[in-house]
Amino acid sequence: MKFFKRNLYDVMGLTELSLFREKSNVKKFWKESYEEQFKDKESTYEKAIVSMIPELGEYIATGEKLYTQEGPSEVLQLKIPELVSRFHEKWEKMCNEYNQYYRKIVNSLPTSMVEFKKCSIHDAVILDIQKPKEDELIIELDGSSCCYECYRGGNFKILFEGIKLLDMPKNSISKLCLYEEVHLCHEGKFDYRLLLDEGEMRIIADHVQVI
């Protein structure tokens, strides 16, 4: 991904948690969600936090923890407003940069991609991936949790044709779709990139459609 970096997504996950909005409920919420959301992502979240607030790296270097099973440290809680503010500033800048870039290339993209790009697959879950031909790919998704109504009705499939390059995690089934980018390239008519909750997918092809 050139614009939607995983680091920013990790910070988003932190800023969206209600424990960063309702200080009185921090410990209760934390204990309910620690095992599922934080236990296995300690280093990831620490890096994401430090990228926004570098001085917290010095705090970690002394052996202190930003959070434990009991909850976020007082130091982290005090920095929450700054963390959220810096994140939103960077996120808005990134979105503006990508939107400007897309407006510059949209007239050079094939109609099929322009139409496909009108509705995001954000929050769709990958159910199956098939390759009926060497240069074709079908991705089946569950759109019931999509943020966009056009796919929220249930399962749907995306067909990519004329594939020139395909790069994806070894096991993409059950992965959550996050953010998408499309770029121009010399190898095909578009370079489609999809950030997953684990890993990224990249498809250079000539045509795309929902089937």
pLDDT tens digits for 18-39? 445 555 566 666 677 666 666 6
Q: Please say if the pLDDT value at position 67 is more than 50.
A: yes
Across 23-37, 70-84, 149-163, 195-209, which has the greatest mean pLDDT? 195-209
CA–CA gap between residue 162 and residue 160 (Å, rounded): 7
Average of per-residue pLDDT values in the chain: 88
- Residue 168 DSSP class: -
55-59 long-range Cβ contacts below 8 angstroms, 24+ apart: none
Percent pLDDT > 90 in the chain is 57
Confidence of residue 83 (pLDDT cuts 50, 70, 90): confident
- 10 Å CB burial of residue 211 (0-12, 13-18, 19+) is exposed
| The pLDDT value given to residue 107 | 98
CA–CA gap between residue 167 and residue 74 (Å, rounded): 42
pTM confidence score: 0.84
Please identify which residue in the block is written with the tokens 């954000």.
122
Judged by average pLDDT, the poorest of 76-85, 99-108, 189-198 is 76-85
Q: Please say if the pLDDT value at position 85 is more than 90.
A: no
Averaged pLDDT, 105-117: 97
Residue 69 main-chain phi, psi, to 5 deg? -65, -25
Averaged pLDDT, 88-95: 92
| Burial call 62-75: b when 16+ CB within 10 Å, e when fewer | eeeebbeeebbbee
| The pLDDT value given to residue 9 | 83
| The pLDDT value given to residue 36 | 64
Averaged pLDDT, 126-151: 93
| Greater pLDDT, 184 or 27 | 184
What would you measure as the largest C-alpha separation in the chain, in angstroms?
56
Judged by average pLDDT, the poorest of 102-106, 136-140, 152-156, 201-205 is 152-156
Residue 159 main-chain phi, psi, to 5 deg? -110, 125
| The pLDDT value given to residue 121 | 95
Q: In this structure, are residues 172 and 129 in contact, taking their beta carbons and an 8 Å threshold?
A: yes
Judged by average pLDDT, the poorest of 41-45, 91-95, 144-148 is 41-45
Q: In this structure, are residues 132 and 110 in contact, taking their beta carbons and an 8 Å threshold?
A: no
- 10 Å CB burial of residue 55 (0-12, 13-18, 19+) is exposed
Which whole-number Å values give the CA distances from 145 to 6, 50, 77, 115, in the listed order?
21, 31, 31, 21
